[in-house]
Each structure stands twice: as structure tokens, then as C-alpha cells.
Structure 1
Amino acid sequence: MHIVLVHGAWHTASCWKQILKGLQTLGTVHAINMPGRIFENSSTYKRLTLNDYVTTLENYLKSIGEPCIVIGHSLAGLTISQVAENQPHLIKQLIYIAAFIPQSDECLFDIAATISNPGISTEAISYPALNKIEIKRSDRAKSLIYNSCPPLIAEKELQSMIPEPLKAFSTKIKFLSPEGFGSVAKAYVKCLDDRVLLPYDQERMIQRGNVSRVYELKTDHCPFHGHPEALVEVLKQSIQTIL
């Protein structure tokens, strides 16, 4: 069995380091980088959108050649949802971790406009001409994203966050149908101490995605840093339901 981990905004595949180790008893585990992980002020970077993330993940799954467990964090909820619509035969189960679940013709900015708090938007700085959005290295940002992480880990991870292509937030999902996205099994890890996407809003994501299995963790938005062992356990529970 193959398990594919997809990071969220401002992160890289390295965020899954401890999760990779924990899931290896279940099969082959892959953590992949989305385009733009190394910021370059170039024409290539300026063109990046969420569609490039979708293509990257689709091609990776095709290279594996069998249905995979696909796990996505935060922004990656949009990517994995669109891939499930486009290539449902390549996915055995989607698992969302404190993730945004879109509907047809929605982008992340559309969803963010409907959530019950401003989330991390107050700590984000956009540079449209560069197609770049980055997070301030502020105490408030740290308290929003890593509020249940040990202080030293929280500070280290905040400093390591990288710029994200801005168009990844404004690219609209094309279409999600019952026959495509709707046919794929889904689970959701709800993070109860999340200050980026509040539990109330995570519940809305669960309902709009018609998610069948929900697991709860008393963690912040990034449990792979603060509570990796607990996250591994619920991921194992979810994966074992379809074995």
C-alpha cells in the first residue's frame, strides 16, 4: 500500500518527517513537495497556480500506478479534492488534516471569506507582482499556527516557513461531482485547539465534503509538529478501516 502526504501552505514535505516514520509499518510512505518550495523571482514562479499543484500530485499518483491513501493538510485540502475529482481511480481514501474542503468554483480566498474568524490572514503579507504571499515572523503568527507546540519547536517552525505562490489561494476548483470527488472515501482529522481554522469551521468543511469518518485531536493547526505520535495513531486508525 502507498500513502502520499501533501503539505499545506508555507510548508514543505519536510514537515512530515515524524509522520513518515510512524506510518512505515503500513506500507510505502511518500511526502512530496508542491511547486514553488524554493522561492525564485522568476517568470516560472510567477505563473504558478493551484492547477500546478493538482498536476504535480496527479502525475505522482500515476507514477505509483495503484490506488493510494492521500493525506492533505490545510490548503492541500483543495489540491487533493480536485485530484479526487479528476482521477478517483487513483485514490483509495482521502484524509484531511485541519484542511479546507472546497465546493465547485471555489478558491481558498472564497472559503476563507466565510469562516468565523480571520485566521492567519492578519499575519500574511501579499506581493501580487511577485505571486508571493508570506507569513510575518510575529509572536501572533506563532500563537495562531503553533499554539500547542513546545515553544522551541514553534519558534523554529515559524522561522522555517517559506513564501507561497499567491495564485494557489485564488485558483478556483473547477468542478466536484458525485461521480468523481463524491465517490472517494474520506476521513477528517479535526484539530480542537486550532486557531487558524476553528473547530466550528472544520465541522463545516466536514459537512460540505460529506466526510464519513471524523477523528478528533486536542492539537493546534499543525499536529505533525506538536503531537506527531497522536496524529500517527489516528491516521493509522483511519487507514486500517479500508484495509
Structure 2
Amino acid sequence: MSTYVLIHGAWQGEWAWELVKPKLESLGHTVVTLDLPGSGQDMTHPQQVTLDAYVTKVADVINQQNEKVILVGHSMGGIVITQTAEHVSDKIDKLVYVGAFLPKNGESLGSKLTGQKGPQFTVNEADMTAVLVPETIENTFLNATNDEAIKEAAFKKMRPQALAPFQQQISISEEKFGSVDRYYMETTLDNAIPIDFQRIMNTETPCKQIISLEADHSPFFSKPDELVEHLHQLR
């Protein structure tokens, strides 16, 4: 069996994986989740949150494992796992992008979003965070999720997102990042990162396999069993 490290997206936390983690563990895998700095229950001040801080935390977790890991990133987590792979490529067996950003060298998440549709937010200038427009959250993130209790809980748990990680350029090489096999799970009903945009990214940066999920931007809630099965098959 394998060790999976699951990285959440913007505005979220390790709580996003609360259905996926036990299902993967029941199949015999080791599963590690974490809150990125300033996310979930991590109280790092937004002005101290950077992409480098994300990468340091994820790399530290990976280095604590006894074997190479399957590193999974959702949404903004795709930026995080990409840069992390440049630092600890020898510790990563596979990179898995789940409805995630897949950047090229020199790009930032902000530059990747230029001209693209995405979540609607306002900027809190005082602490430089992005605050989701509440009435758009369900249609953007949970449009194919039917469980009302899950949707209500997710709505309550989302936090303002530090903007600095959106602005830092990725620095990756073929020798390190490029040496790790990449897999992309498309979320075809996604309103946060539309499927056409996902396919542009996974064409620009080719992956070993493309997997399609008929899911919204939260496949861990709308299609948890299918997501787990696909992850399990990558072991």
C-alpha cells in the first residue's frame, strides 16, 4: 500500500479531505492531511503566509514519511505540490492534480488566472486576504454536491485566503519537478476552475494519465467514492 499526502485548496483546510481520508485508510493506505499556514485551524497571520511557507510545511511532512509519497493537490494545492516537487522530488512517487492549477515555470497562480473565470471574492486590504462572496460559494464550489449538511459545514469552515501565495512565481526544472510522474483528475462540472481551463493546463504540461470525474470543484464531497477509487488505483 501507499502513503498519500493530501493538500487542500484556497479558503479551505484539511477538513476538505474528511470523507476521503478514512476511505483510503480502510483500503490499507497511510494518509496524511494538514492545514497549510493560515488555513483551517492554523492561525498563522495572513501577512506571514507565503508560497514558500506552504512548501516548507508540506516538504517537512513528506520528509517525515518512511517511503516515497503520492502527493495530491486540489485547486490552489496544485501550485503547492508543483513547487514542493522541485524541493523534494526524490521523496515523491507521483503528483496528482485534482481539479487543480498546473503551472509552468515562471508562472504564478495570479498570472495563470488572468483572463479566466474563477471564484468571486473581495480583497481585505488590511491583511491582504481574499474573502469569498458568500452568495456565490455554493454555485462555485458545491454545485454538484447534494448533501445539505456537508454544504452547510463547508460554508462555515471556509476562511479568508492570504493573497501572497497567489503572487509568487513558480521556479521548477525538468531535472527535479519534471522527473516525477504527473496525473490529472479533471472535474468536468467545475465552476471554479472550468474544465476547458483544466484541459489547457494539462495540455501545456502533459501528464502521464488524465482521469475524468463528473464532479464539481469539491469531488471529495460530491464524488468521494469515485475519487478514492481513482486514488487507490494509482498506488
TM-score above 0.5? yes
Moved more, 188-197 or 152-161: 152-161
The residue that corresponds to 2:208 in the other structure is: 212
Query: Which of residues 143, 155, 158 in structure 1 aligns to 2:155?
Result: 158
**Alignment of 1:229 onto 2:225:** yes
Q: CA deviation at 1:212?
A: 1.0
Q: In structure 1, what residue type is equivalent to 2:222?
A: G
Q: Work out whether 1:119 is the aligned partner of 2:118.
A: yes
Equivalent pair of 1:39/1:163 in contact (CA under 8 Å): no
Q: Find the aligned partners of 2:198 and 2:54 in 1 and give their Cα distance.
A: 22
Aligned residue number for residue 145 of structure 2: 149
Larger deviation, residues 140-149 vs 154-163:
154-163
Instruction: Tell me which residue corresponds to 2:36.
Output: 34
Equivalent pairs counted in the alignment come to 231
Q: Counterparts of 1:39 and 1:88 in 2: how far apart (Å)?
A: 26
Partner of 1:184: 180
Q: 1: distance between equivalents of 2:76 and 2:103?
A: 10
| Residues 169-206 of structure 1: CA deviation (Å, up to 9, x unaligned) | 11211x22111111101111101101111111111121
Deviations 1:72-101 (A, max 9, x none): 100010110011112110100011100001
> Which runs of no fewer than 5 residues in structure 1 stay unpaired?
none
1:67-86 to 2 correspondence within 5 Å? 67-86=68-87
Q: Which residue does 2:189 correspond to in 1?
A: 193
SS in 1 for 2:19: helix
Q: CA RMSD in A?
A: 1.6
Residues 119-168 of structure 1 deviation map (CA, whole Å, 9 limit, x = unaligned)? 21xx2111233021121211x33112110011613233123211111112
Query: Tell me, what secondary structure is at the counterpart of 1:64?
Result: coil
Distance in 2, matches of 1:125 and 1:13, equals: 23
Q: Which amino acid aligns with 2:118?
A: G
Asked whether the equivalents of residues 65 and 90 of structure 1 are also in contact (C-alpha less than 8 Å), the reply is no
Of Structure 1 and Structure 2, the greater helix share is in: 1
Question: Does the CA-based 8 Å contact 1:39-1:45 persist in structure 2?
Answer: no
TM-score of the superposed pair, with normalisation by structure 2: 0.93
Shift of 1:208: 2.3
Contact 1:191 1:199 in 2 (8 A): yes
**Counterparts of 1:47 and 1:157, CA distance in 2:** 25
SS of match in other structure, 1:188: strand
